[in-house]
Amino acid sequence: MFLERALCQETQAPALKESIPVIVQDLHELDLFMPHLLTSKSGDEVFFAIKNDAALGTNVFEYLCGNQASLALPDRPLSFDYLLSARNNFLSLESFLDKADLYRSLALLAQRSGAYCFEFPFAIGQKRHLYACSCYSWPEKKALIVCLRRLKFFERYLLEYSEKTKRDFTTALLNKESCLAAINAIKSDDQAVVVFTDLNNFKLVNDIYGHLMGDKILRALADCFVSNKPDNALVFRFGGDEFVTIFRQSDIQKTQAWLDACAEQFSHGGNLGLPVSFSAGVCAMAPSIKTSLYLVRCADKAMYIAKKKDVPYYILNEEEALEIIKEDQNGF
């Protein structure tokens, strides 16, 4: 079975399989050792051999059979230390997998027949994969047969779940964490503009009409912002009744036109007939602003200026922004 699969998939495996076999020189041995092991028709289960000795973590996997391309792993020698490196733990769980405990468990298989199974994550650039690993002891050869398979269904589930965690449930906008990540990505020479928005009389609406009506107001404002924004803008619910909009490549004039359109559309609470409006503050990125997070702080301060002046929005100039930053740095 294994020999037939290896022959029919000869062209599918990366060049690593061309290395001279050390542990299993004849795949018929593998058929005798594991005669009832079933593999998928597509060859998505890929088998390797590895010496089970003191250097278990660094020993290089010896390719046996299966479609290596289905694993989407880098075309390089594989080892447990490489696959289970902390840099690949994109789940950011401190104790997701303890390599020392794993190696001890695998070492115990050296003296007897048996199997040990586990799952692990692996990051390849921005791509994130999950794998199932089954290890079978072959005491006569002092080796392990390692079966790797990508958990594609769980990868899709994790990706969808991860995308949902980036969004606010009420408005479906990107959330505060996503906003801060986008702000941090702004460089000093980017033509970025940040708008910080807050609702007026929102607490009054919640107190009189209830939070369900408050949610309708939030969704109406979110829809207003999204329907009027250009393609290069991102809208976030920052928290409560606060929103942040980032124009990644824009200018003050275009931002002002967007705010004017939104203010007109959102009159009377987005046509809900309630005395709700918004106030907004605007701050543009400049080379003199060394830290992009100050854009949120400055736009927030500009929003309060708009409230005091009883105008829909207030646009900070560079000098005003630098003065706010200086005050913050001095602890005022």
Domain membership of residue 16 as a residue range: 2-159
The set of residues, in sequence order, having a beta carbon less than 8 Å from that of 221 and lying 6+ positions away, is: 197, 199, 243, 266, 270, 278
Whether residues 133 and 253 fall in one domain? no
| pLDDT value of residue 13 | 44
Q: What is the pTM of this model?
A: 0.62
Regarding beta strands 127-138 and 143-150, do their DSSP bridges make them parallel or antiparallel, or are they unpaired? antiparallel
pLDDT given for residue 40 in this prediction: 53
- Name the domain boundary from 99, 134, 159: 159
**213 and 91 inside one domain:** no
pLDDT confidence of residue 24: 84
Q: What is the pLDDT of residue 4?
A: 45
Rounded to an integer, what distance in angstroms lies between the CA atom of residue 290 and that of residue 283?
Answer: 14
Residue 7 shares a structural domain with residue 123: yes
Same structural domain for residues 170 and 154? no
- Provide the number of structural domains found in the chain: 2
Mean per-residue pLDDT pooled into runs of 10, the chain (332 residues): 44 46 79 68 80 90 90 92 80 67 84 85 84 91 92 84 84 93 91 95 91 92 91 92 92 90 82 86 92 94 95 94 88 59
Domain boundary among 111, 135, 159: 159
Among candidate residues 57, 58, 60, 59, the one with its CA nearest the CA of residue 17: 60
245 and 108 co-located in one domain: no
Please check whether residues 106 and 205 belong to one and the same domain.
no
Strand 46-51 relative to strand 62-65, pairing: antiparallel
Task: Look at residues 159, 194, 216 and tell me which one is the last residue of a structural domain.
Answer: 159
